[in-house]
């Protein structure tokens, strides 16, 4: 059995946990370690993609274009990818990212909004990039609906479409059924991106692989939003034990996680009380840090904030609702 292609997104999804404070030296060291271990694709941008550095999403310590260039110069074999969210990143940022060295762009929309990505896939193909579609918050819609959205991305020029469990809310059967639906509907490859809010990052990724996923994601030490992502070193070890054919160096990845990434991590993402609430409520993993900060400021339990956001089916891009919900809950608490 051939293993799926692995994209390590430590230097993008990990940016959330780092509060977007990656340094050039950190990016260089991580990129070199991953390249040496045989990881074929590394994603490097602000956590919210190209042009994500902003008052709404958090300012980066180092310009993301400089980080992309640093990663590109650090690798010999790995390809560099960037994330682009329509409405945040534009042609200008994508063009500069290409000049700095990206070869892959991953275009992310809410799982109900694939139709807004047409021009972005067109731009990507014009620039000679591999174009990957991301259907975020995929737990919110059934497999058949997601297959229809994926078909739109395929028609726009996507080379692969991912089921993205942004909230870490899927169970293994939900991951496998969604991947299977896309495999049956599409002629292109299918990928899976997991978060670990219910402690199922590795389990869901393995379920996706068993269902036919051609590409999967991970981050070293699980560094990422919420309770983090599927840990790269864990998923490669598991796939190796299962007998999948691959070109990774499992022990080099263990070393990269332990000796390169762990020393600069501000904390180890785990499924704690708050992040489990994210998976349970089904809200975007990046909401956690906002809920913690506002909860502390207004004396409101972050879990209450997250559950209420889930009840309202809040999506990425609606971060302003977090403050609104917090203020409403604080007002109710004061009345009580």
Best CA proximity match to 187, nearest among 145, 142, 155:
155
* Alpha-carbon distance values, 189 to 14, 232, 264 (Å): 25, 20, 35
**DSSP line for 113-164:** -GGGGHHHHHHHHHTT-EEEEEEESGGGS-HHHHHHHHHHHHHHT-SEEEEE
Q: Give the separation between CA 326 and CA 331, rounded to whole angstroms.
A: 9
Is 120 a residue of the active site?
no
Collapse the DSSP code of 16 into the 3-class scheme (helix H, G, I; strand E, B; otherwise coil) and give the result: helix
Best CA proximity match to 17, nearest among 277, 259, 286, 255:
286
Contacts of 159 (CB under 8 A, 6+ apart): 130, 131, 132, 188, 189
As given in the structure block, the two tokens for residue 53 are 């550095």
Q: Give the separation between CA 201 and CA 178, rounded to whole angstroms.
A: 15
Active-site entry in 16, 46, 139, 290: 16
> What residues are annotated to the active site?
16
């Amino acid at each position: 059995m051939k293993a799926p292609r692995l994209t390590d997104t430590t230097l993008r999804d990990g940016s959330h946990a780092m509060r977007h404070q990656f340094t050039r030296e950190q990016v260089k060291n991580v990129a070199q370690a991953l390249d040496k271990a045989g990881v074929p694709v590394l994603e490097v941008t602000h956590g919210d993609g190209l042009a994500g550095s902003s008052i709404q999403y958090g300012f980066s310590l180092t310009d993301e274009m400089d980080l992309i260039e640093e990663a590109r110069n650090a690798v010999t074999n790995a390809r560099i990818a960037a994330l682009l969210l329509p409405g945040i990143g534009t042609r200008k940022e994508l063009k500069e990212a290409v000049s700095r060295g990206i070869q892959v762009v991953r275009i992310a929309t809410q799982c109900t909004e694939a139709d807004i990505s047409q021009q972005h896939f067109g731009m990507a193909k014009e620039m000679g990039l591999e174009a990957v579609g991301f259907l975020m918050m995929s737990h919110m819609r059934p497999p058949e609906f997601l297959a229809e959205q994926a078909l739109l991305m395929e028609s726009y020029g996507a080379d692969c479409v991912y089921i993205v469990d942004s909230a870490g809310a899927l169970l293994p059967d939900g991951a496998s059924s969604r991947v299977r639906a896309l495999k049956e509907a599409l002629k292109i490859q299918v990928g899976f991106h997991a978060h670990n809010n219910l402690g199922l990052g590795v389990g869901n990724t393995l379920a996706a692989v068993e269902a036919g996923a051609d590409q999967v994601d991970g981050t070293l030490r699980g560094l990422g939003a919420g309770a983090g992502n599927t840990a790269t070193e864990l998923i490669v070890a598991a796939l190796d034990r299962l007998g999948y054919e691959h070109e990774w160096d499992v022990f080099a990845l263990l070393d990269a996680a332990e000796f390169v990434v762990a020393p600069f991590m501000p904390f180890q993402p785990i499924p704690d009380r708050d992040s489990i609430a994210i998976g349970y409520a089904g809200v975007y993993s990046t909401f956690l840090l906002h809920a913690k900060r506002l909860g502390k400021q207004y004396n409101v339990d972050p879990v209450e904030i997250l559950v209420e956001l889930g009840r309202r089916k809040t999506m990425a891009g609606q971060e302003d609702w977090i403050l609104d919900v917090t203020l409403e809950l604080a007002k109710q608490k004061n009345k009580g």
